[in-house]
Structure 1
Amino acid sequence: MPHTNDHIIATESTSTAIKGQLPRFPEGWYCLGLSRELKKGDVKPIKAFDQELVLFRNESGTAVVLDAYCPHLGAHMGFGGTVVGDNLRCPFHGYHFSTSGQCVKTDYGTGVPQKTCTKSWHVDDKNGFIMVFYSPLKQSPDWHIPAFDYSDFTPLKSHTFQLAAHVQDVNENSVDLGHFDFVHGYDRIDIDEKPTTEGKAMYAAYSMVRDTGLVGYKKPFKQSLQIQVHGMGFSHVDVSIPDLGLAIRAIVMTTPIDAKTTELRIANTVSKRVQATGMGKYLQKIPTWALMPALNWILHKAYIIDVSQDLDIWEHKIYLENPALMKGDGPINFYRKYCRQFYNGASSKTQEALKQKATTETAKAA
């Protein structure tokens, strides 16, 4: 159950549209669910960005997101809507909507209302996740999350939290090096590669040491992290643990649900190619095909515990525009500068639309 406290944000906005608070919904790609959990013919009601949506997979296998309310008489098509071929049928009066949101048929049999349509959202169904693009000015995306090859990894294990926090705060943990020690118990935390940005992505590399607690291996181990942050909705971390012979991938996805709530989805997977030669004689006796899924399950449980240690902090902290940073905190200001682009328009299309809007408002005022 999500907590009910408001997430207080004490900052000057980077958006011209909202003053006195950090805008709730940055532009970007956000996860609505796992690809494997949406079968052909499935229809699901979704709430995101304080809007009601409907998610379905048509008979061609395409994942589609539409505004949920039928433009005919307002039925929520996520409740009782059905897939007919490649279209979504409204449960109220049998209006059929295509992947573009256009009404293409009615069960009245009296013709097609040409101007009847609902909004269709941009969807990327890749990496095992259904991602939707949000733009406050309803612009098309000019950037995408890259595809990652998971063919040599165990099936993804996923867990979802709901919390009263802002997506920027949640993702800030990826650069808050001090918290890895004080909250999670890591030691010897080093920056291996200074963070850089490229377009709508941020890259960083760290290493740190921690006790394992694994049967047959009691020594502390060093892990190296290669981090990619795409927008504020998708982070991909390659974790290498040479002492254990392990290669792990961790994914962090945040989706704004409404003005108070963020959905945090974490997932992890283990490489099937790596031999766990450093784990001690007991674990080495287990065949790799059986060991890797078991380790992925163990690591997933540990991952949930790690993230749970952050929840109360996220839900009760405030955002400070000018924090009292010191050596050891990590590149927090670098991350915040990277985030600003997603409020004033991540895409060049949105930036141009903002300029046009400002010009129009100025002309009206004159």
Structure 2
Amino acid sequence: MSTPRHAPARFARGWHCLGLVRQFTDGQPHEIEAFGTKLAVFRGQDDGRLHVLDAYCRHMGGDLAHGTIKGDTLACPFHDWRWGGDGKCAAIPYAQRVPPRARTRAWTTLEENGQLFVWHDPQGNAPDPGVTIPRMDWIDDEASDWSDWSWDSVLVEGAHCRELVDNIVDMAHFFYVHHSVPTRFTNVFEGHVATMYVESTPRRDSGMELIGADLSLRSDASYHGPSYMIDRIWQPLGDGTEAESVLVNCHYPVTADSFVLMYGVRVRRLPGMTAGQAEEAAARTAQGVRAAFDQDIEIWRHKTRVDSPLLSDGDGPVYQLRRWYEQFYVDVADIEADMLRRFEFEVDTRHAGEAWEREMAANLGRAGAPGTS
């Protein structure tokens, strides 16, 4: 029996999404357990900006996430020390002066696509301008015919977030876990971006009733850095038109062996569809996404970490993906050329498709035989 191997305690360098901007703009501070610590998120009353600080006050350890927003500062509930978004203590009401060393960690933030991001780097380096979160101009222009985000999150315990990233090269699990049949499966890795191109049809023997399970689809899904994926999805409707949606799949680590998985869906309005109907369609699609992630999470809950998997010729480029992924876990000076070099790989789906077709036919035959159900 294999022995579980724990994930390394280092967290990935890169932009990590903490959630939708609107989640943090209610006039209250919010707490986030991430990167082995606690963060406090607040919106300044005067500057209107979202700020992220280490949550525990440097004075006597009060929890700033349980404090009060006063102007552009976050006041500690213990002694009312007031911390600015830049990490400096701006005031101590009962003291004549603020100690010069009264500073806490202020996290670098980014607001993009209606979401809040923080930059994490174990070395403390500023973000590389070339490694950023792309703006979805195609759904956020003034004439947008897209729904708003239907958004949800789940805490995944007992698993490193690499398990989630591995999915983009794991063709076979789509059949066995998600009840779909990939007919095209291609990966391209280059720089800080890793992409999966998929075309698939539904399993005819699954009996699944997930939203969209009766439709084939085409998906272009790219990780931009270690934790933020944009997945564009097209589904034919049979009348020559396509249903178009976008799925954001993102996460941030809580501990070395747990992470918060978040996902959001936006749906493009079809001709004749009202804005309200588009919102309903996005919510239904998000329910289907949650069902699929629940299938993954159930696998992760019971599996062990395998750093050197034994692969077959029908598997995807697991080692190449993990080499790409390694760039986010080493010092910048230790990033090697092959972690960034362009790599392309297309899985030959023909043999798998023939085997799966036989399996589905056999399952359907048994289901239709007398005395079976």
- TM class, shorter-chain normalised? 0.7 to 0.9
Q: Are 2:262 and 1:270 aligned?
A: no
Alignment equivalent of 2:310, drawn from 324, 334, 352:
324
Q: Measure the CA separation in 1 of the matches of 2:25 and 2:92.
A: 25
Q: Are 2:279 and 1:248 aligned?
A: no
Percent of aligned pairs with the same residue?
Answer: 27
Superposed displacement of residue 40, structure 1: 5.3
Superposed displacement of residue 111, structure 1: 2.3
Q: Are 2:269 and 1:292 aligned?
A: no
Structure 1 residues 214 and 188: alpha-carbon distance in aligned structure 2, compared to 1, 3 A threshold:
closer
Q: Measure the CA separation in 2 of the matches of 1:70 and 1:188.
A: 51
Superposed displacement of residue 139, structure 1: 2.1
1:255–1:262 CA contact under 8 A, matched in 2: yes
Deviations 1:106-147 (A, max 9, x none): 212512322211010111122122111111222222122122
Superposed displacement of residue 234, structure 1: 0.7
Q: Measure the CA separation in 1 of the matches of 2:118 and 2:329.
A: 17
Which position in structure 1 is the counterpart of 2:189? Answer: 196
Deviations 1:4-39 (A, max 9, x none): xxx9337xxxxxxxxxx5445222222222211111
Which position in structure 2 is the counterpart of 1:237? Answer: 231
Which position in structure 2 is the counterpart of 1:51? Answer: 37
Which position in structure 1 is the counterpart of 2:56? Answer: 69
In angstroms, what is the RMSD of aligned CA positions?
2.6
Q: Are 2:160 and 1:166 aligned?
A: yes
Superposed displacement of residue 89, structure 1: 1.5
Q: Measure the CA separation in 2 of the matches of 1:87 and 1:219.
A: 49
1:177–1:330 CA contact under 8 A, matched in 2: yes
The amino acid across from 2:199 in the alignment is S
Q: Where does structure 1 lack aligned partners over 5 or more consecutive residues? A: 1-6, 11-20, 276-285, 352-366
What is the aligned length?
318
Alignment equivalent of 1:117, drawn from 99, 103, 116:
103
Structure 1 residues 218 and 252: alpha-carbon distance in aligned structure 2, compared to 1, 3 A threshold:
closer
Helix, strand or coil: the match of 2:277? Answer: helix
Which position in structure 2 is the counterpart of 1:145? Answer: 133
Q: Measure the CA separation in 1 of the matches of 2:213 and 2:225.
A: 37
1:195–1:204 CA contact under 8 A, matched in 2: yes
Which position in structure 2 is the counterpart of 1:90? Answer: 76
Structure 1 residues 306 and 214: alpha-carbon distance in aligned structure 2, compared to 1, 3 A threshold:
closer
Which position in structure 2 is the counterpart of 1:258? Answer: 255
Q: Where does structure 2 lack aligned partners over 5 or more consecutive residues? A: 336-373
Helix, strand or coil: the match of 1:32? Answer: strand
Helix, strand or coil: the match of 2:94? Answer: coil
1:166–1:261 CA contact under 8 A, matched in 2: yes
Q: Measure the CA separation in 1 of the matches of 2:260 and 2:59.
A: 31
Superposed displacement of residue 76, structure 1: 1.3
The amino acid across from 1:251 in the alignment is V
Structure 1 residues 39 and 139: alpha-carbon distance in aligned structure 2, compared to 1, 3 A threshold:
same
4+ residue runs over 6 A deviation: 211-215
Helix, strand or coil: the match of 1:241? Answer: strand
* TM-score, normalization by structure 2: 0.78
Structure 1 residues 209 and 259: alpha-carbon distance in aligned structure 2, compared to 1, 3 A threshold:
same
Which position in structure 2 is the counterpart of 1:354? Answer: none
2:54–2:106 CA contact under 8 A, matched in 1: yes
Helix, strand or coil: the match of 2:52? Answer: strand
Q: Measure the CA separation in 2 of the matches of 1:325 and 1:39.
A: 47
Q: Measure the CA separation in 2 of the matches of 1:25 and 1:327.
A: 32
Superposed displacement of residue 102, structure 1: 0.5
